[in-house]
Structure 1
Amino acid sequence: METLHLLFNAITVIFIAATMFAAGLGTTVAALRSVFTNIPLLVLALLANLVVVPLLSWGIGMLFGLPAAAFIALVLAASSPGGPFGAKLAMVQGGDVVAGAAMQVLLATIGSLTFAPTANGILSASGVGQGVSLDIAALVGTVALLQLLPFAVGLLLRHCATPTARAWHPPATTVSNVTFLIVLAGMLLGNWHDVLALLGSLALLAGFVLAAAAFAAGTLLTTGPPVRRTTMGGIAAVRNAGPALAAIGIAFSGQPAILGALAAVLLSGLAAALPIAAVLNSRRNRPPTTRRAR
């Protein structure tokens, strides 16, 4: 069992690194500059991910009357932006991968700093849970190693060796796609008992509703064409599990109930976000004649 756990962790690392590397290979410095110099886009994305989505989790948790463990898991997930699945959703929907990948890395980095005070504030105000204390340097280092570094290497290759970057982009995308499916299957198989245990509660529905609401908020609170807007929606819909898992291990002594609820929230969130991305992709790839006929 321990071997399978290590193997799953290794595949997850490969998925994150391959996804960010592929995103970097498909990015130009000029395109990246256009994202980071777009102040309205940055401000709105930060507002949506760092303020609106955490507040949505608080409201949804209270509305559904979630038990303490599920409420804590929902708030921890919502307080942690920049999940690596965000860049993958941009690819799945045929969205603005450059803006999506850049925003994901930025949010993951900033989220490493804001996670603890955001989660603390909501849990304290709601009277649920306890103080969340984390090693901020370790979180930032993890983001830099798994997300920022592969993206930067891919971007450097695209800038300095464009033919090589174009040749490597398809296989890197294939690795990302294959490992993505393996990670999804591993999450389902590895946490099926936790998910089944929560079928009688509203935790799964809360995670689904939070992701759908976050997708809507991310899409509305942004600028640019529809392709960029829905990409920002996908970025907001999926959260970064790393800080949440660390918080459960450190601040909540690895309580199984909270871990199970977190797995359920993350999986139900993907169950909401993936179909939206797939529908968007099918509409964007529909032949022009078909669109006119409709």
Structure 2
Amino acid sequence: MDVLQLLFNAVTVIFVAATMFAAGLGATLPALRAVFGHLWLLVLVLLANLAAVPLLGWGIAALFGLPTASFIALLLIASSPGGPFGAKLGMVQNGDVAAGAAMQVLLAAVGSITFGPTANLLLQAANAGGGVVLDVPTLILTVAVLQLVPFAVGLIVRHYAPPTALSWHPAAATTSNVTFLIVLAGMLLGNWRDVITLIGSGSLLAGFVFSGLTFALGTALATGPRTRRTTMGGVAAVRNAGPALAAAGIAFGNQPAILGALAAVLLSGLAAAIPIAAMLSRRRAAPPHGSDHLPGPHTAGADRADAPRDKET
């Protein structure tokens, strides 16, 4: 069991680092500057993801009367913005892919710092966790190192050696996707008894409702064309598993019940967000290219100084 736990921890570290390294390889400085150039969009998205969504997670956990493990899992997930699949939902819905990718990496970077204090505050306010208090400095240091350092390295490579970054990006993205599936499978299979007990507890439904409402909240708290606003909804709906897994290991010793609940909440959240994005896609043609989109890592010519900038509407 100890060997399996070590393997699980190692794969989790690889997943988090590879995800942020791929994000850095796919990002560009013009795209990130463009995000900061839209002040109201930036303010509203940060407000939604760093404050409103965590409070929504607490409210849903209390409303459904979730068991302790699921309550903790939902609070951890709600406190962790910037899930990489959020940017992919922009592609699924034919949304503003460039803006979504730029905002996702920004939220993941900011969330590296805010996750610990936010989760700790919610756990204490909700009197959840059996009196466990997160070691915020250790958690911030762990998450920041695992996320910010790989992202910074990837961003530097993209800025100074774009051909190298573009050639490395597919492998990094594949590593991220594969290790994410392995982590999810490990949480489900390694804690299957705890997952089964969640079926009648309302935990799966709570994760589903949380994701759907978060999609709507992220869309409402955004500016610009509808394609961009719904893309911000997708970014908000998919939370970042990395910091939540780090907290589960550091503060809760990878308790099987909490790991199983994390997997259940993550999967039920995707089960809500993906159909919403698919429904939006059916209503849209291929995403337009032009002034309605921020330049970003998936936009041709995004590294040029004259990359197009959109107008707030």
TM value normalised by structure 2: 0.75
Instruction: Give 1:112's aligned amino acid.
Output: G
Moved more, 129-138 or 148-157: 129-138
Q: Tell me what 2:168 maps to.
A: 168
Change (3 A) 1:263 1:35: same
Q: What is the CA–CA distance in structure 1 between the aligned matches of 2:285 and 2:18, rounded to whole Å?
A: 24
Tell me the equivalent position of 1:292: none
Aligned: 1:187 with 2:179: no
1:82 matched residue in structure 2: 81
Pick closer, same or farther for the CA change 1:112–1:36 going to 2, 3 Å: farther
Name the CA distance, whole Å, in 1 between partners of 2:43 and 2:218: 12
1:267 maps to 2:264: no
- Following superposition, the deviation at residue 69 of structure 1 comes to 4.6
In structure 1, what is the equivalent of residue 108 of structure 2?
A: 104
Structure 2 unmatched runs, 5+: 92-96, 289-313
Aligned partners of 1:194 and 1:263 also within 8 Å: no
How far apart in 1 are the matches of 2:192 and 2:35? 39
1:212-291 mapped onto 2 (5 Å cutoff): 212-241=212-241, 257-258=257-258, 260-277=260-277
Deviations 1:42-64 (A, max 9, x none): 32123212332233233323433
Q: How much does 1:129 deviate? A: 5.8
Retained in 1: the 8 A contact 2:77–2:241? Answer: yes
* Counterpart residue type for residue 20 of structure 2: M
Aligned-residue sequence identity (percent) comes to 63
Task: Output one character per residue of 1:9-68: Cα deviation in whole Å (capped at 9) or x when no partner.
Answer: 222222222222122112111111122343322321232123322332333234333345
Equivalents in 1 of 2:57, 2:252: separation in Å?
19
SS at match of 1:107: helix
By how many angstroms is 1:104 displaced?
Answer: 1.9
- 1:4 match: 4
Instruction: Name the CA distance, whole Å, in 2 between partners of 1:186 and 1:5.
Output: 10
In 2, Cα distance between equivalents of 1:255 and 1:161: 43
8 Å Cα contact 2:12-2:242 kept in structure 1: no
After TM superposition, which residue ranges in structure 1, 4 or more long, deviate above 6 angstroms? 246-255, 281-285
Distance in structure 2 (CA, Å) of the matches to 1:254 and 1:166: 36
Q: Determine if contact 2:16/2:242 at 8 Å carries over to the other structure.
A: no
Deviation at 1:230, TM superposition (A): 3.6
Looking at structure 1, the residues matched to 177 and 72 of structure 2 have their Cα atoms a distance apart, in angstroms, of 31
* Gap change, CA 1:114 and 1:56, over 3 Å in 2: closer
CA displacement at 1:181 relative to structure 2:
2.8
1:282 and 1:178 mapped to 2: Cα distance? 28
Letter in 2 for 1:200: G
Relative to structure 1, is the Cα distance of residues 82 and 14 closer, same or farther in structure 2, using a 3 angstrom cutoff?
A: same
Deviations 1:157-197 (A, max 9, x none): 11111221122222222222332332333233223221111
Structure 2 equivalent of residue 45 of structure 1: 45
Q: In the TM superposition, what is the alpha-carbon distance from 1:210 to its structure 2 partner?
A: 0.9
> Which stretch shifts more, 140-149 or 223-232?
223-232
Amino acid of the structure 2 residue aligned with 1:192: W
Residue 214 (structure 1) shift:
1.2
Gaps of 5+ in 1: 289-294
**Higher mean Cα deviation, 239-248 or 53-62?**
239-248
Structure 2 equivalent of residue 143 of structure 1: 143
Q: Would the alpha carbon gap of residues 281 and 98 (structure 1) be closer, same or farther in structure 2, given more than 3 Å must change?
A: farther
Q: Distance in 1 between the 2:67 and 2:242 partners?
A: 23
Deviation of 1:89 after TM superposition, in Å, equals: 3.0
Aligned to 1:115: 119
**1:49-68 correspondence runs (5 A):** 49-68=49-68
Aligned to 1:205: 205
- Please report how far the alpha carbon of residue 75 of structure 1 lies from its aligned counterpart in structure 2 after TM superposition: 3.2
Aligned partners of 1:81 and 1:239 also within 8 Å: yes
**Retained in 1: the 8 A contact 2:191–2:256?**
no
Q: Count residues in correspondence.
A: 281
Q: Deviations over 1:121-145 (max 9, x none)?
A: 2x15xxx665552222212212222
Q: Residue 156 of structure 1: CA displacement?
A: 0.7
TM-score normalized by the length of structure 1: 0.79
Task: Map 1:5-24; keep pairs closer than 5 Å.
Answer: 5-24=5-24
CA contact (8 A) 1:64 1:202 kept: yes
272-281 or 261-270, which moves further after superposition?
Answer: 272-281
Offset of 1:201 from its aligned partner?
Answer: 1.6
Contact 1:93 1:278 (8 Å CA) reproduced:
no
Shift of 1:205: 0.8
Moved more, 235-244 or 107-116: 235-244
Distance across 1 between alignment mates of 2:9 and 2:255: 20
**Distance of 1:262 and 1:142 partners within structure 2:** 19
